[in-house]
């Protein structure tokens, strides 16, 4: 069972006492004001089922192996891939009040600032909703890039998990 909670919240110690463990940290970045003035998607395109293997490979390269049991590789792709050299993927979760992009960007990638700006600009059906980029602790190298783009960070959140087990009767 996963939980995401502000580390300064009163709920944090209660979750720890209830058996939840921190497995990562994250920060939600408001990238709603990040725009690229030029038209075009800048190499980003909607992910297709044929991209699944590449996205899973990228996941295994970026997400630390210790986290694979609690943050498994995607079984289907919903979002955008960067088609230039397949070192970028962003899953998209949309709701009434906002859109959340969860990126997997390889640390060897070049022009990351431009790629993030074109990714946000490629969301043409925003409908006035805010756009957030979810940056987990294993991709904190993205935070200075987001600061340079003028994105606004939320407070740090603990990403927690509680392993549930049920006795197996023979």
| pLDDT tens over the chain, length 170 residues | 778 999 899 999 999 999 999 999 999 999 998 876 555 557 899 999 999 999 999 999 999 998 898 889 999 988 999 976 789 999 999 999 999 999 999 999 888 999 999 999 888 788 889 999 999 999 999 999 999 999 999 999 999 998 777 666 77
With contact defined as beta carbons under 8 Å apart, do 87 and 106 qualify? Answer: yes
d(CA 140, CA 156): 11
Q: Which two tokens stand for residue 40?
A: 């075009």
For residue 55, what are the contacts with CB-CB under 8 A and spacing of at least 6?
A: 47, 73, 74, 77, 81, 89, 104
Distance of CA 78 to the CA centre of its chain: 12
pLDDT of residue 153: 95
Query: Which of 18, 152, 142 is CA-nearest to residue 5?
Result: 18
CA distances from 100 to 78, 79, 130 (A): 12, 10, 9
Query: Which of 57, 43, 66 is CA-nearest to residue 104?
Result: 57
pTM: 0.86
d(CA 11, CA 20): 11
pLDDT of residue 125: 81
d(CA 151, CA 137): 17
């Amino acid at each position: 069972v996963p939980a995401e909670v502000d580390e300064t919240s009163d709920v944090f110690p209660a979750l720890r006492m209830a058996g939840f463990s921190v497995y990562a940290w994250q920060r939600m970045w408001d990238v709603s004001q990040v725009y690229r003035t030029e038209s075009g998607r800048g190499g980003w395109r909607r992910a297709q089922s044929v991209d699944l293997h590449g996205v899973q490979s990228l996941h295994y390269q970026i997400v630390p192996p210790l986290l694979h049991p609690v943050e498994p590789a995607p079984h289907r792709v919903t979002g955008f891939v960067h088609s230039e050299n397949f070192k970028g993927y962003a899953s998209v979760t949309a709701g009434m009040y906002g859109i959340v992009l969860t990126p997997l960007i390889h640390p060897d990638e070049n022009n990351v600032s431009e790629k993030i700006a074109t990714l946000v600009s490629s969301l043409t059906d925003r409908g006035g909703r805010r756009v957030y980029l979810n940056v987990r602790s294993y991709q904190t190298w993205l935070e200075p890039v987001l600061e340079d783009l003028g994105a606004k960070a939320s407070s740090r959140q603990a990403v927690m998990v509680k392993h549930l087990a049920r006795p197996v009767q023979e």
